[in-house]
Structure 1
Amino acid sequence: MDTETLRQKLEQLTGNKTGIKQFGRQQSASLFGAGQEAQEQSVIYEGSLWVPLYESEGRVTALWIEKKGLSPIELQLAQFAAENYAAVLKASGFKEEGEKEARQLSAWLNTQLELDDDAGEIPDDITLKSRLFTDMIPFLLISENTHGSEIAYRPLLKLVRSYFDSSALLIPLQEKEWLILTRKELLTGTEDKDELEESDDEELLAQACMGLHELIASEWVGVFHVSVSSSIIPVKGLAGVITLLRETISLGRIFQVGEYIHLPWGLQLERLVNSIPDGRRRQLLGQFGDYTAVLAEKEMLLTLETFFQMDCNVSETAKKLYIHRNTLLYRLDKIKQETGADVRSFGDAAIMKLTMLLYKVTKRK
């Protein structure tokens, strides 16, 4: 049994929330006596029972169980189970799973990706497999920093776990490309896929992406792109999710220039346009009409992009662009004069949107 399985079983048995957290050196020493002669002891802290599982470089990783509603005997039994597990870990000489195990999984994933085998199941000899049977959310992080030194595994892992928790996994893939896996309930507060509306789920994932990007960008100089997908059981089909996230970031670089958070559900039409052969794309551009003058002008292109982003709402678009409503109407009228397309009409708006995407992928690819 691994640490995550223990946490799940205790949560099922007690009916209370549980979790795993790694403390810094100072708090590890003050709470558990880590690094001192005294043995590390379980403690009651912030309304929960905390049982130290293992220590690495003065940092204690502990399992917590919410105390509320548990009888003294129930709390003692849960404490006994966790402390017994911790004793077994110490007797076996356990050390926290780290870079070696992550790179073992990475090697297997890269082989699957090269073979285009997106649905393969992770083999039993992969050490991290036991931690991949729970509902998890995958993030893909890619750095474009070509001049700076490579980001080391341990500092990035520490940063990722400070944002999520100590159960988060960091898998290095290609150079300057990392897969991050974290438990779904850390973001959504629930493991039940049907409990949240899809739109709410997507909003939470988008916010998590933005927070992760902001944290990493504040630590290292350079350009970073982040993508995320809905939750998965990683033990099977993980390579397919990586393929999706790589494609999403690639599309984002083409169609969302200047943006660094790229979401699969926000690039569906772009994915369709990108799949059209180059010759056919150019042919379609010619059939739709010559909108080059408008699309080549940065101000007009930004106006159209924002207009479509705001669902063709004039007032909201003007607010987003920080311009007067009449200024926006003037620009839309100018676009109509130069192209013949009134983007306030659904049909013309659809054609203009498709033309914009064709123009981007054809002229800028």
Structure 2
Amino acid sequence: MDSEVLRQKLEQLTGKRTGIKQLGRQHSASLFGMGTEQEQAVIHEGYLWIPLYDNDGRITAVWVETEGLSPLELQLVDYAGRNFAVALKATGLKEEGEMEARQLSSWLNAQLEQEKDDTEIPDDITLKGRLFGDMIPFLLVSENVHNPQMTYRSLMKLLRSYFENEVLLIPLQDKEWLILARKELLTGGDDKEDEEESAEDLLSQTSMGLHELIASEWVGVFHLAVSPAIIPVKGLTGSVALLRETIILGRIFQVGDYIHLPWELHMERLVNSIPDDRRRQLLGQIGDYTAVLADKEMLLTLETFFEMDCNVSETAKKLYIHRNTLLYRLDKIKQETGADVRSFGDAAIVKLAMLLYKVTKRK
């Protein structure tokens, strides 16, 4: 059971308002006193405060409104809270701040289920105070089935070794993790970004390094998506929704790739939004490109050609083939389809056909 479940159960048990709050050092000391091995619950200004754990002098506590509660009910609430604190101490979750992360996770998942993409994080979320600055969101999704699942502690340790600045880790759904890193990881603390590299290039490079690090520690397939910096307190739900969609699109259209960038998937997003029957109809109207698109070598050639902005020399280098070999393949595609992908109009049509083929082939 995590802290949010505890709060919900206490709310159901008492019918009163409840919440979880991390107190500052001074507030913690004045409310609970310091230096004792186990702080006791206290009633203060109409609320019962039950300490759950102490993190460097900052106590995180669950509070329950006391008005109308009998002494027996208060005793039951105290008992439930203290039992949770004992179990929490045994797991060691407090050392990595997992409890606060799971509280935010419960709220985030609830907003996403209701498709609320612009909701501000409420004041009773403990981590809210750390989400006002510019942060870069990453979404990590594991496809591992048989391998041991990553733990919060082990992944957090890995992230801290990669990001020199402050980083937050939020476990979302099963095998899905949200990572929030300070924007300074791009600029090195300077407000001006590298003039020679765009923010998108830097995000791409950071993602590649992060994915490589994770892959070196855990066996299996991991997908990673990243989006530009946001102020999480207001833009977090929309950003997570975008990252989830990005990974879904990446799995469909970028088979074999594990880093997916939303600004590279605009056309894919459009194609995926077309109803299935209409996609099949469009594919039939464009023409029969099955012979080319079903050929793995030809499909890879087209994907690389479009990735290299239809540049013959750069495509040949990327594929490690002779320029004449590439020209032979492009001529073969023209013979099969009647489309010369070296011209813009035909290239656009073939690109569209390729995307339609990928998404309809999965049905």
Shorter-chain-normalised TM-score: which range? 0.7 to 0.9
**Kindly tell me: are residues 91 and 209 of structure 1, through their superposed partners in 2, closer, same or farther at Cα, counting changes over 3 Å?**
closer
Q: Which residue of 1 aligns with 2:13?
A: none
Conservation of the 8 A alpha-carbon contact between 2:340 and 2:346: yes
Matched, 1:154 2:153: yes
Matched, 1:111 2:117: no
Alpha-carbon distance in 1 for matches of 2:297, 2:322: 15
CA shift for structure 1 position 237: 2.3
Q: C-alpha offsets along residues 203-231 of structure 1, whole Å, 9 cap, x if unaligned?
A: 00001110110000110111000000000
Q: Which residue of 2 aligns with 1:301?
A: 299
**Kindly tell me: are residues 302 and 236 of structure 1, through their superposed partners in 2, closer, same or farther at Cα, counting changes over 3 Å?**
same
**Letter in structure 2 aligned against 1:212:** L
Q: 1:216 aligns with which of 214, 217, 220?
A: 214
Q: C-alpha offsets along residues 9-61 of structure 1, whole Å, 9 cap, x if unaligned?
A: xxxxxxxxxxxxxxxxxxxxxxxxxxxxxxxxxxxxxxxxxxxxxxxxxxxxx
Normalising by structure 2, we get a TM-score of 0.73
Matched, 1:185 2:181: no
Q: 1:325 aligns with which of 301, 308, 323?
A: 323
Conservation of the 8 A alpha-carbon contact between 2:193 and 2:199: no
The alignment partner of 2:232 has SS state of coil
**Kindly tell me: are residues 295 and 183 of structure 1, through their superposed partners in 2, closer, same or farther at Cα, counting changes over 3 Å?**
same
Alpha-carbon distance in 2 for matches of 1:211, 1:112: 31
Conservation of the 8 A alpha-carbon contact between 1:143 and 1:177: yes
Q: Which residue of 1 aligns with 2:124?
A: 125
Give the number of equivalent residue pairs: 276
The alignment partner of 1:116 has SS state of coil
Mark the runs of 5 or more structure 1 residues left unpaired by the alignment.
1-88
Q: Which residue of 1 aligns with 2:143?
A: 144
**Letter in structure 1 aligned against 2:282:** L
Q: Which residue of 2 aligns with 1:311?
A: 309
CA shift for structure 1 position 197: 6.6
Conservation of the 8 A alpha-carbon contact between 2:186 and 2:199: no
Alpha-carbon distance in 2 for matches of 1:150, 1:91: 32
The alignment partner of 1:182 has SS state of strand
Alpha-carbon distance in 2 for matches of 1:270, 1:197: 30
**Kindly tell me: are residues 313 and 123 of structure 1, through their superposed partners in 2, closer, same or farther at Cα, counting changes over 3 Å?**
same
Q: 2:283 aligns with which of 282, 285, 291?
A: 285
Conservation of the 8 A alpha-carbon contact between 2:252 and 2:359: yes
Alpha-carbon distance in 2 for matches of 1:173, 1:308: 35
Conservation of the 8 A alpha-carbon contact between 1:188 and 1:204: no
Structure-to-structure mapping, 1:26-65, within 5 angstroms: none
Conservation of the 8 A alpha-carbon contact between 1:254 and 1:361: yes
CA shift for structure 1 position 338: 0.9
Alpha-carbon distance in 1 for matches of 2:56, 2:226: 36
Matched, 1:344 2:312: no
Alpha-carbon distance in 1 for matches of 2:108, 2:59: 28
The alignment partner of 2:341 has SS state of coil
Alpha-carbon distance in 2 for matches of 1:223, 1:304: 25
Alpha-carbon distance in 2 for matches of 1:200, 1:214: 21
Alpha-carbon distance in 1 for matches of 2:196, 2:357: 31
CA shift for structure 1 position 149: 2.0
Q: 1:243 aligns with which of 241, 244, 247?
A: 241
Q: Which residue of 2 aligns with 1:269?
A: 267
**Kindly tell me: are residues 334 and 173 of structure 1, through their superposed partners in 2, closer, same or farther at Cα, counting changes over 3 Å?**
same
Range with bigger deviation, 196-205 or 294-303: 196-205
The alignment partner of 2:267 has SS state of helix
The alignment partner of 1:171 has SS state of strand
Conservation of the 8 A alpha-carbon contact between 2:165 and 2:185: no
Structure-to-structure mapping, 1:222-233, within 5 angstroms: 222-233=220-231
**Letter in structure 1 aligned against 2:107:** W
CA shift for structure 1 position 195: 5.2
Q: Which residue of 2 aligns with 1:34?
A: none
Alpha-carbon distance in 2 for matches of 1:173, 1:91: 28
**Kindly tell me: are residues 319 and 144 of structure 1, through their superposed partners in 2, closer, same or farther at Cα, counting changes over 3 Å?**
same
Matched, 1:175 2:151: no
Range with bigger deviation, 197-206 or 240-249: 197-206
Alpha-carbon distance in 1 for matches of 2:202, 2:165: 20
Conservation of the 8 A alpha-carbon contact between 2:165 and 2:184: no
The alignment partner of 2:198 has SS state of helix
Alpha-carbon distance in 2 for matches of 1:338, 1:255: 23
Alpha-carbon distance in 1 for matches of 2:120, 2:136: 17
CA shift for structure 1 position 188: 2.3
CA shift for structure 1 position 166: 5.8
**Letter in structure 2 aligned against 1:188:** T
Normalising by structure 1, we get a TM-score of 0.73
Conservation of the 8 A alpha-carbon contact between 1:188 and 1:201: no
Percent identity, aligned pairs only? 78
Alpha-carbon distance in 1 for matches of 2:354, 2:209: 30
**Kindly tell me: are residues 251 and 294 of structure 1, through their superposed partners in 2, closer, same or farther at Cα, counting changes over 3 Å?**
same
**Letter in structure 2 aligned against 1:286:** G
CA shift for structure 1 position 196: 5.9
